[in-house]
Structure 1
Amino acid sequence: MAGKQIFGRAFIRVNGMTIASLPGTGKLNPGGMERSPVMGDYGFLGFTEKPVNGEIECEIAVSADTDIVALNRTTGASVTFEADTGQVYIMRNASLAMPVSLQSGDGKASVKFIGSEVEEA
C-alpha cells in the first residue's frame, strides 16, 4: 500500500491575503448543527437541533508588517482554510471574534474568525 499525505499544514487567507499562520496551529470547525438528546421516561425520544457558526483559528507570527488594527476591524470577510492535502474551505461573512492581543517575547498572537457555516470550495 502506497503512503498518502495526511493533513499537516494549513494556509489561511483573509479576503485573499495570506496571513502568517504558524505551523501546527490552524484549526477549522465547519459549523453546522448541534444536536441534543431528548429523553423521556422510557429512554431516548429523539433530538433537537440548533445551528452552530463556523470557526477558523490559528496563531500568527507578528512582525513590523502585521497590521493588528486592520485585523481587529475584520468583519464581513471571506476566510479560506487550505489544507496541504488539497482540501479548501471557505467561511463567508467572517469577523474576528476577539481583538488581537500582543505579548512581547514570543512574537505571536492568536486569531479566531467566526462566521457562516464553512463550505468546501
Structure 2
Amino acid sequence: MSAIPVAADVLSADLEVLPLPDVAERLGVPITRVHQMLRDGQLLACRRNGILIIPALFLSDEGEVVKGLSGTITVLKDSGYSEDEILTWLFTADDSLPGTPVEALRGDRGREVKRRAQASAF
C-alpha cells in the first residue's frame, strides 16, 4: 500500500480543519476510504501538530466532497503542481472569481475554477 501524500501546512491558522477520523464520519465512510481518497488525489491533507488534517471547506454541507474538487486537483497535478502548491492555489483569493477557488467550487462555479486551473498551467 502506498503512502498517503501529505502537503506542507500552507493553510491559514484560522481556517477550520478536520482530522481524518472526523472526515470519515462526515462522509459516512471508513477511515481507510479517506486514506484511499488521499492517495487517489480526490482530497488533499496536510500535517498540523502531528495530525493529518483536511480543510473543512473540502466537504459539502450534505456530507460529500465538494463537487469539482477532485477534478481541479487532478488538473493541477497534471500541470506539475505539488500538493503544497495546489493547497495554496485553492485558498488564494482571486478578485475575478471573487473569493478563493475553493469557495467558488462550493458556490457551484466548478467549470470556471477548472478553466482557471487549466489556464494556470501554461
Under TM normalisation by the shorter chain, which class is it?
under 0.3
The TM-score normalised by the length of structure 1 is: 0.21
Rg larger in structure: 1
The TM-score normalised by the length of structure 2 is: 0.21
